Structure 1
Amino acid sequence: MDIQAQPIRVVLLDDHEIFLKGLEKLLSQQPVLRLVASFSTGKMLIETLPQLQADVLLLDLQVPDITAEELLAQIKKIYPKVPVLYLTMMRGSRIMHRIEKLGASGYILKDASVAQLLTAIQCVAAGDTYFLEESLSKDEEKNTVTQPSIRVAESLSKREIEILNLVCQEYSSAEIGEKLFLSTGTVDTHRRNILVKLGVNNTVGLVKFAIQNGLLNEV
């Protein structure tokens, strides 16, 4: 079944009214998304969430009425499996590690492009994680492509490893989609997320990385 057949239902939280209204309009204009509700406080979100159906929670990392840790804990009690994607202006490895520790599915910078935001939402909706490449320092980017394969296997989902194997076998996105019963757009989203996670720029880099780290046929 094509997981992108129905619009992704998004719930939004941000305490800055101008940004919130702008993001509401932006999300409402995307055919692949459906904005279910938006909130300006964590308390309002928690009170209303049990009555909502959502595929992704797009949350400001810092709202004044509740900490990110407390908010996520409350969310997990209501919908333990709904992915949380954080919005933030903060960059760098420290914030990335904090979000990973929280158990969220990823984060996107508030000055990211619309394409990046859509990719991030689609990735977490598909059960993957999303951490924007530019949030890493140059040294961390270098380490990303040389880290032990066991750590890479932990950072990639089973689906991503499966797609990586097919990419290395020279399957096109359309062919991979047909083989795995996914849309071409979904496969492309996975491929972009794999590039980000592994810190490489193209298919040649993916193949080289997979061979060097023993990831081929690791499904």
Structure 2
Amino acid sequence: MKPKLTIYDEPLLYAEGLSKLLVQAKIFSSIEICNSYENLSEHIEQNPPEFLMISSGNLVLTEMYSCIENIIIKNKNTKIIVIGKSFDVATIRKLFNKGIKSYLDRNSSYDEFLKSIQALMSNEIYICEYAKEMMINYISHEQEKQNSHIKDPLTKREMEILKHICNGLSSKDISELLFISINTVETHRKRILLKLNVKNSVGVVKYAIENKIFS
């Protein structure tokens, strides 16, 4: 059975445009639009959706934190996607700690929104390319300072490969870009994931959030 989606956003024109695109994609069984917090609260209470998209244009951060907390308390199975306004890494981390499952930025594309839906349907979290790049830069900076969050620091080459992995490059692409063998790339990849104790690039995001390295 297809899930339900609720969009909490202003202006209404944008929300309606996104709704029409998603109807064509046939991902959701129903799509509801709310453009006021009162309307959203009433809708969530009467007909809680599996997915909820919240735009940061409607609420200041403190209101958004409270809104997310209230929704999660009443409907812990609702997967929340936040559309941010170039939030810094500390704010993004706090949003995940409050209970969201996906963070997209206002400049994220429609295709990236679909990727986030697919990730959430697989019970994974999703973070957009903009925020992911900030995360990688932060880890790189912390590595230079020999940060204690990673007991076995990544080498300069491993950090270079990590960035390429998170940018979606395959081992073959990385080997051609860096003029090294695929086997060498695979060895570096295994060491990176081993040091961070994760399975893939999504794991890197989880590691950053769970270990609060964005503080």
TM class by shorter-chain length? Answer: 0.5 to 0.7
Larger radius of gyration: 2
RMSD of the alignment, in Å? 3.4
Deviations 1:99-130 (A, max 9, x none): 22322112112332221000112212322111
Query: What's 2:190 paired with?
Result: 210
Q: Sequence identity of aligned pairs in percent?
A: 12
* C-alpha contact 1:99 1:106 (8 A) present in aligned 2: no
Compare 112-121 and 86-95 and name the one that shifted more. Answer: 86-95
Partner Cα distance (1:82, 1:47) in 2 = 15
The gaps in structure 1 that reach 5 residues or longer are: 1-5, 151-194
Instruction: Sort the Cα spacing of 1:216 and 1:133 in 2 relative to 1 into closer, same or farther, 3 A.
Output: closer
* C-alpha contact 1:56 1:125 (8 A) present in aligned 2: no
How many residues are aligned here? 168
Matched, 1:80 2:76: yes
Matched, 1:40 2:7: no
Matched, 1:109 2:89: no
SS for the counterpart of 2:189 is helix
Query: What's 1:139 paired with?
Result: 137
Partner Cα distance (1:49, 1:19) in 2 = 21
* C-alpha contact 1:96 1:131 (8 A) present in aligned 2: no
Instruction: Sort the Cα spacing of 1:71 and 1:52 in 2 relative to 1 into closer, same or farther, 3 A.
Output: same
Q: TM-score, normalised by structure 1?
A: 0.62
Instruction: Sort the Cα spacing of 1:81 and 1:145 in 2 relative to 1 into closer, same or farther, 3 A.
Output: farther
Deviations 1:61-105 (A, max 9, x none): 342498112211221232112211101232442332232232211
Q: TM-score, normalised by structure 2?
A: 0.63
Query: What's 1:89 paired with?
Result: 85
